[in-house]
Amino acid sequence: MPSPQEQKTSSEASGTQEKKLKPCCACPETKRVRDTCIIENGEENCGKLIEAHKACMRAAGFNV
């Protein structure tokens, strides 16, 4: 039988993988479109796409 510490570590590891989403992996659809726009048109011309990506990130739980 695992010790309480081992049980805690095991449950934390599985919970972390399910709940923790890295910012680089969140909202790939809006990120791709935003990045393409910035490369081709410059950041100043992509405000709506940047804001859409920020909204998506906030919906995913990130403080942007």
Residues of each annotated binding site: 24-25
CB 57 within 8 A of CB 27: yes
Closest to 47 in 3D by CA, of 57, 39, 37, 56: 37
* Binding-site entries for Cu cation: 24-25
Structure tokens at 43: 């950041």
